[in-house]
A and B are shown apart, each in its own frame.
Chain A
Amino acid sequence: MLEKEKWQELSKAKENWEKGTVEKALSKFKERQEEFNTGSGIPIARLCTPLDAQKLDYENDLGFPGEYPFTRGVQPTMYRGRFWTMRQYAGFATAEESNKRYKYLLEQGQTGLSVAFDLQTQIGYDSDTPIAQGEIGKVGVAIDSLADMEVLFNGIPLDKVSTSMTINASAAILLAMYIAVAEKQGVSTEQLRGTIQNDILKEYSARGTYIFPPTPSMRLITNVFEFCAENVPKWNTISISGYHIREAGSTAVQEVAFTLADGIAYVEAAIKAGMDVDDFAGRLSFFFNAHNDLFEEAAKFRAARKVWAKIMKERFGAKNPRSWKLRFHTQTAGSTLTAQQPDNNIVRVAIQTLAAVLGGTQSLHTNSRDEALALPSEDSVRIALRTQQIVAYESGVGETIDPLAGSYYVENLTTEIEKRVWAYIEKIDALGGAVKAIEQGYIQKEIADSSYAYQKAMEAGQRIVVGLNKFQMEEQPVKGLLRVDPAVGEAQVKRLQELKKSRDNAAVQNKLADLRQAAQGETNLMPYILAAVRLYATEGEICNVLRDVFGEYRPVEIL
């Protein structure tokens, strides 16, 4: 009773403030906008008070770090134990050049590697495929076979670093190559730490580097889950990614909702393949975007953790607390970076870094200021890494766990995002799950609608981007951009042709024939891929066998 009276009193006091002090101020001086909304369209109140968080039940909604529902973080000590892993996504041109960049980054204090592959590697073509011409080494490193992978990790001890690889449709093959390199270094698979993205669903809905149709793609993914559960226990077998969904133009709410819906689909597929949820769920990891809307972003991460914990515990009945934890990597938002006044991007990235850290990320890539212009130069990459280091060592935000908790505004946002995410998940369930929703073009259309609405709002001046639609100035072209030498393509093709001459081709053909037969059946394909990779079968050869058996995905485009 006393409690209730207290709330009523406060509510009344707030009303008085609005009618009195605020009204008086408004009569003299209007607010900047009629209404204020987050990027996801959540209305923002003028002032949040305890009234906005009154329904919050501390133990059930927030709990304690390292405990269900993990709203406040997945580890008991968070950044007091150690900082997040600073992991810059890098890779370009040849394996030699990328190897040099990795060694440079490790020397600069980076704590994990993150490999970017070029497009034909991601789409499972060898460098001599006609459609690959012009793309070789452009957005990442070109890898055709184990020979390239050996060069890529030359002098980097794979038992010491953790490596994240952005590879999806052909993830099983690249993971096999990584394992084969480790074997040559004398490192056992139990020691390997890292992540493969291995998330095909967001390729269909947002990123575009798919190869096979959904059914065989889901099989390859669960094959990796199974293989790693037995052989590479410290490996994160998937990084379920909202990053690209957001880059494609979704809102923060959609980013979380579509990612978790994809996550549900993977868990269901693995269970259907006969695995026990607790055997693989602990190795699932996530990958999110960090935008400028600081509080909404921090709240987004908190909400995502809470929703996933609930899904794993209640929907899938996972028993192991590790299975309930949403561990995630974050990358700052490439799409927010402007080609205009590119140095401003350093500031954007700093804010986004704060959002990720306040949201409790496990690892972070910070984008470089020149990414809207070209691949990042070495200087820009260093500044980006320094940004993380400044936030870690100087800002003090990591000294206490989840410092935004208890903010009336942030808690209110967290609850609101959670509510909207559940609504989307229900909608996707009703459509038959994420795979069906993608096949019907539902998710693609939702993303395209948000992206178009954002563009129109920006062009109408309702959303301001500094240097782009306000505070513009005349500029000189930026110097010192990184360019990939077109000769890289020719050199890579030559290397591939030499490899095909020097390896034992009869043995390669044998292993490819075994793989074909296995693909036609239902067995786990990882051992067959690994056997072919060890003999220097190329990625393109392996994918072509699988293309023959599985067919190729045709996209649904609903504009």
Chain B
Amino acid sequence: MELVQRARQGDRRALARLITLVENEAPEAVEALQELYLFTGKAQVIGITGPPGSGKSTLTDKLVKELRKEKKKVAVIAVDPTSPFTGGAILGDRIRMSDLNLDEDVYIRSMGTRGSLGGLSAATSAATKVLDACDFDYVFIETVGVGQSEVDIVKAADTTIVVMVPGLGDDIQAIKAGILEIGDFFVVNKADRDGANRVALELRMMLDLNEQKLVWQPPVLMSVANQNQGIAEIVAGIKDHFTYLKESGELAIKRRERLEKELLEIVSKKIYRQIADKVQREGKLKQYLDSLMKKETDPYTLVKVILQDVIKT
């Protein structure tokens, strides 16, 4: 596929177009991902999440700049919510990274959550593959909050950073259930504000309480991203974690699990699509629904009928 070749040769327009295709789940996307698969597996994928106002975009901006000092190629996927009412979105994370616009070895892409269940994690994971195959050394995925869809997105990451900030009230308690499991490390940003040490302390305590004895002890780091403080330490931590993942064999396990999940997802999506298409194409859906409404049959019996029908053909 010409687009794939161009993208791998460094054509930004082609790369951007490929990401649009995979995000839209366009028919050409399958072919592209087929070709790209061989080249994937080198990049470290880093998820960054945290509550609104925690300074994630600024932090990401600084981390990218730090990595650029070593001439690494870095990509960022910045996710913002889509309006559930209109399907539109305003994606503003780039604002914080606008000095990176002109760096040829940095690629930043904004994505809306677009609302479809599981669709976003599929889209970010596919976009990550495109970037990985185009020789980016690091791919950051930045998401707001720690809702379920964000948790799904960071599951596509090798390393997950949870960003906290002092002064947001009791939110640690409120979200601890979600974050403790997913964080490979925690960053208390805006650490020049009152209460930063307390947030860090609480986090450490909660991590200690965490029953699961891990080999990797998630560190809690402090930063003041807009003053460039603590950035080098986080970058070092990101690298340490990757080394750990590789040496412990956990990376292989993680990636294998991820592949399993993705493979099954692709299969189920494909099967679902075929069945749904067939049922709709033959106009049987209306007929099925009519008989369900009249209680002539029940959904479970109908499922058997539909499956048999598809398998036959």
Contact = CB atoms under 8 A, between A and B. Distances in A.
B92 A557 contact: yes
A557 B53 CA distance: 11
Contacts of A555: 95
B59 to A, nearest CB: 12
Band of interface residues on A: under 10
Interface string B203-246: 00000000000000000000000110000000000000000000
Contacts, number: 15
A557 B97 CA distance: 13
B226 A557 contact: no
A558 B81 CA distance: 13
B20 to A, nearest CB: 22
Contact of A554 (B53, B90, B92, B226): B226
A551 interface: yes
B58 interface: yes
Given A554-B96, A555-B95, A557-B92, A440 B226 contact: no
Nearest to A436: B167
B192 to A, nearest CB: 10
Given A440-B53, A554-B58, A554-B96, A559 B227 contact: no
Interface string A266-291: 00000000000000000000000000
Contact of B92 (A213, A440, A559): A559
A208 to B, nearest CB: 13
Nearest to B226: A554
A286 B124 CA distance: 50
Nearest to A432: B167
Contact of B90 (A440, A551, A559): A559
Contacts of B95: 554-555, 557
A554 B95 CA distance: 9
Given A554-B96, A555-B95, A557-B92, A213 B226 contact: yes
A447 to B, nearest CB: 16
Interface size of B as a range: under 10
Nearest to B89: A559
Given A557-B92, A559-B90, A551 B58 contact: no
A557 B96 CA distance: 9
A551 B92 contact: no
Contacts of B53: 440-441
Interface in A326-365: none
Contacts of A559: 90, 92
Interface in B42-82: 53, 58
A452 to B, nearest CB: 12
Most buried by B among A441, A554, A557, A559: A554
Interface string A216-243: 0000000000000000000000000000
A440 B226 CA distance: 14
A515 B24 CA distance: 55
B285 to A, nearest CB: 39
A551 B96 contact: no
Contacts of B96: 554
A381 B226 CA distance: 44
Interface string A407-442: 000000000000000000000000000000000110
A558 B96 CA distance: 12
Interface in B81-117: 90, 92, 95-96
Contacts of B92: 557-559
A328 B54 CA distance: 38
Contacts of A440: 53
A558 B226 CA distance: 18
A154 B27 CA distance: 70
Contacts of A551: 226-227
A156 B291 CA distance: 92
A558 B80 CA distance: 12
A503 to B, nearest CB: 32
Contacts of B227: 551
Nearest to A439: B53
Interface string A533-559: 000000000000000000100110111
B224 to A, nearest CB: 11
B171 to A, nearest CB: 14
B269 to A, nearest CB: 33
B164 to A, nearest CB: 16
B5 to A, nearest CB: 35
B300 to A, nearest CB: 47
Contacts of B58: 554
Nearest to A441: B53
Nearest to B91: A559
A440 B58 CA distance: 14
A54 to B, nearest CB: 43
Nearest to A440: B53
Contacts of A441: 53
Nearest to B167: A432
A472 B96 CA distance: 42
Nearest to A553: B226
B190 to A, nearest CB: 10
A554 B53 CA distance: 13
A558 B90 CA distance: 9
A554 B62 CA distance: 13
A213 B227 CA distance: 10
A551 B90 CA distance: 28
A213 B92 CA distance: 20
A559 B92 CA distance: 8
15 contacts: A213-B226, A440-B53, A441-B53, A551-B226, A551-B227, A554-B58, A554-B95, A554-B96, A554-B226, A555-B95, A557-B92, A557-B95, A558-B92, A559-B90, A559-B92
Interface of B: 53, 58, 90, 92, 95-96, 226-227
Interface of A: 213, 440-441, 551, 554-555, 557-559
- 5 nearest A-B pairs in the assembled complex, by CB-CB distance: A559-B90, A557-B92, A557-B95, A559-B92, A440-B53
Given A441-B53, A557-B92, A558-B92, 12 more contacts: A213-B226, A440-B53, A551-B226, A551-B227, A554-B58, A554-B95, A554-B96, A554-B226, A555-B95, A557-B95, A559-B90, A559-B92
